[in-house]
Structure 1
Amino acid sequence: MLKTSVFTRPAVTLAALVFGTVAAAAHPHVWIKNRSDVVFNDDGKIVSLIVEWAFDENYSADATEGLDTDGDGSFSSGELEVLTRENLIALKEYDYFVYAKLDGKKVSYGDVTEFGQRFTQGILKMHFTVPLSDPVDPARGKFTYTIYDPSFFIAIDYPDASAVSAIGRKPANCTLEMKAVTGDQETDQTRQMLSEKSPDWQPETEEDFGSLFAQPVNVVCKPKTASQ
């Protein structure tokens, strides 16, 4: 089960940073505005996913506290690098919160080597590229991915459909479709249950709560026409 220390600074957990002065709070505890890009190579195959997260103001402020080492009132990429690397090291154990499948089977990744963070107008933004171990031909199967925290400690949501796009030579017969979260009585009950839990709560058995609220993105390819 995902622990609450996925996002850290030296010796300080996310829960301590954001909720150290709060007696009780509800899941989720951190909010992220999400966007993602599907990267295609020159052969029209999917080679990577680019993810960008904009953290909420509370986390942004607490995570960057003390990182302005030169005192100039801003955060350089160098000042944010340690925080970025620690976050990605922690995220690697959980596939970077990016769960891609081809025809229902898990797609494997390489290590994230392209990444960075910036601080703009009080908001901390992190971006990273998740490379697929092997290029995926979307015409040969259903490629889908979701981005979420299994524990639902962190809520990761797309603001709208424009937050998903394609980069590179996407085949003309393929489109990206972001699906809405499908709610039912069980989902509503789970959300209510989680909203009543304190920040340090952990379920007795491993649960994938976040998948209930995740927004899947599908790469849908129609049969090619003669003109294509």
Structure 2
Amino acid sequence: MTLGLSLPGLAQAHPHGWIDLRMRLMFDDEGRLEALYQSWRMDPFYSLVVLEELGQAEGEGGLEAGLDRLGVEIRDNLAPQGYFTELRLDGEVVALGEVNEYTVMERGGRVEFVFLLPLAEPLVLGGETLRYQVFDPSYYIEVVHEDDDGTPRDDALVVSGRECTTGILPADPDPERVMEASMLDVTDEAEPGLGRYFAETGEVTCG
């Protein structure tokens, strides 16, 4: 899964690129969770390749039009894979809707994909802990929350519309999974779901 344009392999082990994630949980006026507002910043190398390719296609409307086309491509590629997002409440998967609001921009020399992922139905939270993971099932691309020196930034996980406590748990893959990932080269495909074991977990508890 390469999101949009081709992503050349940088090394002979997974992952071959990464995404810096910011997550905002959106609650409605009744205090129900209704959507996940996500921002994905692509790694510098992928961004450089994409921006150079789009810059060379000026006859097709320039960079802005190219980014718009890339947004459609990314959205369409992610849709069959649940937008790389898994949401659980009390261990049960929460159904998600379809992304219709999204944009792609260039910010600080990096490509950023911003989108609103609605829930299939608004979700009532009454003290339970909601957990999510955002990951590429193949682990070709690693997804990590925005951080400063290895510590998640304050704006990496925020809540709008309710008072909640939040936390981001680091990934803790067992040695067997680490070995499995390290043995994959650029031509290999991982077993479906490998990325789950390397994903951080966001936790949100609303009293």
TM range (shorter): 0.7 to 0.9
Cα distance in 2 for residues equivalent to 1:207 and 1:84? 25
Candidates 74, 86, 91, aligned match of 1:99: 86
Match of 2:202 in 1: 217
Does the CA-based 8 Å contact 1:109-1:131 persist in structure 2?
A: yes
Matches within 5 A, 1:7-156: 7-9=3-5, 13-14=6-7, 18-19=8-9, 25-68=12-55, 69-70=57-58, 75-76=63-64, 78-139=65-126, 141-156=128-143
Count of residues in Structure 1 that have an aligned counterpart in Structure 2: 198
Q: Tell me the residue number matched to 1:226.
A: none
Distance in 1 between residues matched to 2:192 and 2:53, nearest whole Å: 35
The residue that corresponds to 1:208 in the other structure is 193
- Identity, in percent, stands at 27
| Runs of 4 or more above 4 Å deviation | none
**Equivalent residues of 1:34, 1:53 under 8 A apart:** yes
Query: Residue 180 of structure 1: CA displacement?
Result: 2.4
Q: Separation in 1 of the partners of 2:126 and 2:115? A: 26
Residues 38-47 or 114-123, more deviating: 114-123
Pair member with larger Rg = 1
Tell me, which stretches of 5 or more residues in structure 1 are unaligned? 223-228
Give the distance between the partners of 1:221 and 1:115, measured in 2 at CA: 27
Confirm or deny: 8 A CA contact 1:161 1:178 kept in the other structure: no
Kindly report the root-mean-square deviation, in angstroms, between the aligned alpha carbons of the 2 structures: 2.0
Q: Which residue matches 2:157?
A: 164
Could you tell me whether the CA contact under 8 Å between 1:98 and 1:146 is conserved in 2?
yes
Q: CA deviation at 1:54?
A: 0.9
Q: Structure 1 residue 189: deviation in Å?
A: 3.5
Counting strand residues as a fraction of each chain, which structure ranks higher?
Answer: 2
What CA distance in whole angstroms lies between the structure 2 residues aligned with 1:25 and 1:43?
50
Q: TM-score, normalised by structure 2?
A: 0.86
| 1:8-56 per-position Cα deviation (integer Å, ceiling 9, x unaligned) | 23xxx33xxx23xx6x621000111111111111111110001111111
Task: Kindly state the Cα deviation for residue 161 of structure 1 after the two structures are TM-superposed.
Answer: 4.3
* Structure 1 length-normalised TM: 0.79
Unaligned runs of 5+ in 2: none
Q: Are the aligned partners of 2:127 and 2:205 in contact in 1 as well (CA < 8 Å)?
A: no
* Displacement after TM superposition at 1:110 (Å): 1.7
**Which digits, 9 at most, give the CA deviation of each residue in 1:88-111, with x for residues without a partner?**
101011100010112222111221
